[in-house]
Every structure is written in structure tokens, then in C-alpha cells.
A = this chain, B = another copy of it.
Amino acid sequence: MPAGSVVSFQGELGAFSQEACRKIFGPKIKLLPCPTFEDAFVAVVSKKAALAVIPIENSLAGSIHQNFDLLSRYSLEAVAETQVRIEHNLIAHPECEARSVDKIYSHPVALAQCEKFLRRMKSAEKVAFSDTAGSVRHIRDHGLKTAAAIASAEAARIYGMKILRSGIEDSRENYTRFLALARNGRFPRGGEKTSIVFSLTNEPGALFKALSVFALRNINLTKIESRPIHGKPWEYFFYVDLQSDIRSRECVNAIRHLQERMKYFRILGSYSTY
């Protein structure tokens, strides 16, 4: 990754996506925060960014479906993967005291992931916000002294706010997987993992037959996700992650075998984990 390459992500500076950008690409990239996931995709399509880093799955909340749908709509290629442990913090203005907090802002998923902690903060109203780091910035921008936000420690640092309580998430087993996406063909394909998407003909055993091309070659599936095909009720796109390198003969053969029988097929990428 050349120094100074622009990487887009959804959220404000301090978002968990930013940590994912740093894990994959190190400190020398330029960050482009975007209001929505689609904006982060469009930044790459329109060449404002070389890459986008988007969350694809959380170990508690599950797949982030909107991003699977965007993977289908924009034909970008997955070029890297990482995972980030999600540690939530209660963050407030430096002059705020914990007992005076009467409002807590954060993304609804973050609020849900801190439910046990928040139940003890009975008197504080929970307010949904578009973004975790954005909720910290909101507190800073408006100088709110009786409100708190839930976000990363990095967000507290960036916006000069203080951490009232750290590690307030219900479960420590809280990880988010991120993919880095680039325009097709900009990076050589290959790595420990390969992601594909396909749709099936409507016949008994269709999914079984599709998976057989991998099972017969001992290729492990780490994830399967189905998403509805718009305009075709109860038909699905299947997104599958394989522990296999597209440069290997088994993977190439399995995919050739799969393509023989699929209505629709696309390789989303073959990449390494950082």
C-alpha cells in the first residue's frame, strides 16, 4: 500500500472501522470518513479513495446485511480482512461526573451490547445515534456536560473527552470482521481466504450440490450467509467464505465445478487476514 493512499470508511474519526484500517494498512494511509456505508463504497468506485474498509460481521449481532447487499451492487473486490475486538467505553465531557449523566448516546447496536451496564444507569435516557464515534463528537461539539456516549477509547482521545468507565460491553467475545475493498484487478488475488457469491437453480439438493464441490476437495467453509434476491421472493444470494487460496489448484477446480451449475456466480476476492 503506497504511503498516502486514501482509505474510506463509514463513521467519524475514532470509529472501530478506523482501527480496522490501521490494522490492515498501518499508519501511513489517509483516512476518508464517510456518512454511510454506501458513501464508502462510492468513494472507491469514483476513485476518491483507493480502498474502503467495511464491517461485514459481528460475533454477537451477526452479519451486517446492508454491506452484503452493497457487495453485490458495487463490483469491488475484497483484498484484505481483519478483525477488531469491540471494547465499549462510557465517554463524557471532562467536566461531567458519572452521577449527573442523564442521556447516553450511541449506535443502537452498541447500546444493545452494553445492556447489562445500561440497566444500572436507570435514570439516563438511551438515545440512538448514527455512529459510535459520532456520538462522542456530538457531546464535544455541543459541550454537553450531563450526557455520555458509548464508543472506542480512540474516539475519547481524538475528541478530547474522558472515559468514565471502560469495558462496559456485556460480552468480551465481541469481535467485528472487516473487509478491505478495492476496484477490480488493482491488487493481485490470493491469500488464505476466498469469498464468493452465487445463486442457485430451484431444485431439491441445489445447495448441497453447490457445497459438494468444496467438501469433495476438503476445502473448509468458514461462513455462509443468504440474502434475498430483490424481485424474486424466497430466492437467495449465498455468500460463502472458503479457507482456500484462489491460486491453488483445488480452489480453481472447485470454483470451475461450481460455475457449471450456478445461475449466478462471482468471486468477491481472495485475500489474507491481518
Q: Which residues of A contact B (CB under 8 A)?
A: 57-62, 65, 171, 173, 175, 204-205, 207-209, 211-212, 214-215, 218-228, 230-234, 236
Find chain B residues with CB under 8 A from A60 CB: 228, 230
The 6 closest A-B pairs by CB, nearest first: A208-B215, A59-B233, A205-B215, A204-B220, A208-B211, A62-B228
A-B contact pairs, 14 of them (CB 8 A): A60-B230, A62-B65, A171-B231, A173-B230, A175-B233, A204-B215, A204-B218, A204-B219, A207-B221, A208-B211, A208-B214, A211-B211, A224-B224, A225-B226
- Closest Cβ of chain B to A85, distance in Å, is 10
Closest to A238 in B: B224
Rounded to whole angstroms, the CA-CA distance of A183 and B227 in the bound complex is 30
Given contacts A61-B228, A173-B230, 13 further A-B contacts (CB under 8 A): A58-B228, A59-B228, A59-B233, A59-B234, A62-B226, A175-B233, A204-B220, A205-B214, A205-B215, A205-B218, A208-B212, A222-B234, A223-B234
Q: How many copies does the complex hold?
A: 2
Rounded to whole angstroms, the CA-CA distance of A227 and B63 in the bound complex is 8
Rounded to whole angstroms, the CA-CA distance of A59 and B224 in the bound complex is 19
Rounded to whole angstroms, the CA-CA distance of A212 and B207 in the bound complex is 10
Chain A binding surface SS class: mixed
Closest to A69 in B: B62
Rounded to whole angstroms, the CA-CA distance of A236 and B225 in the bound complex is 11
**B230 engages A171 (CB within 8 Å):** yes
**B224 engages A226 (CB within 8 Å):** yes
**A232 engages B173 (CB within 8 Å):** yes
Find chain B residues with CB under 8 A from A175 CB: 233
- Closest Cβ of chain B to A223, distance in Å, is 7
Rounded to whole angstroms, the CA-CA distance of A58 and B173 in the bound complex is 30
- Closest Cβ of chain B to A106, distance in Å, is 16
- Closest Cβ of chain B to A126, distance in Å, is 14
**A227 engages B62 (CB within 8 Å):** yes
Find chain B residues with CB under 8 A from A236 CB: 223
Find chain B residues with CB under 8 A from A207 CB: 211, 221, 224
Find chain B residues with CB under 8 A from A224 CB: 207, 224, 226
- Closest Cβ of chain B to A84, distance in Å, is 12
Rounded to whole angstroms, the CA-CA distance of A207 and B220 in the bound complex is 10
Closest to A227 in B: B62
Rounded to whole angstroms, the CA-CA distance of A204 and B233 in the bound complex is 31
Rounded to whole angstroms, the CA-CA distance of A59 and B171 in the bound complex is 32
- Closest Cβ of chain B to A235, distance in Å, is 9
Find chain B residues with CB under 8 A from A58 CB: 228
Find chain B residues with CB under 8 A from A208 CB: 208, 211-212, 214-215, 221
